[in-house]
Amino acid sequence: MGAVIYDSEDSVQQLIDQGFEMPIHFAAIGINGSVVTGTYRRSRRNGGFDCQITARTKDNSLTPPVNIMYVDRRGESAVIVVRQLP
């Protein structure tokens, strides 16, 4: 199975455009059970986002499809699924 490239910064910006408020926390779970969690905050350096990883399984390989849940500071949430192209 090949690698999947996912630009999370685009997703975070779309969430902000839809009313999400920083910080935005996330949990990503692959079908192999691997997990990565973290928090996005506005970067003070370049206007983009800083991501702090808060937990991860030992195997950093998230096997697609990967479900990612985002939660903002008010408890608003969104889920996206990252799939591998055929």
pTM for the full predicted model: 0.88
* Structural domain contains residue 77: yes
* Structural domain contains residue 3: no
pLDDT at 1 over 80: no
The helix/strand/coil state of 13 is helix
* Structural domain contains residue 2: no
35, exposed or middle or buried, with CB in 10 Å at 0-12, 13-18, 19+? middle
Q: Of 21-25, 43-47, 55-59, which one has max mean pLDDT?
A: 21-25
* Structural domain contains residue 30: yes
Contact between 72 and 15 under an 8 Å Cβ cutoff? The reply is yes
The total domain count for the chain is 1
pLDDT at 65 over 70: yes
Confidence (pLDDT) at 41: 96
pLDDT digit string (tens) for 69-82? Answer: 999 999 999 999 99
pLDDT at 4 over 80: no
Structural domain range at position 45: 8-82
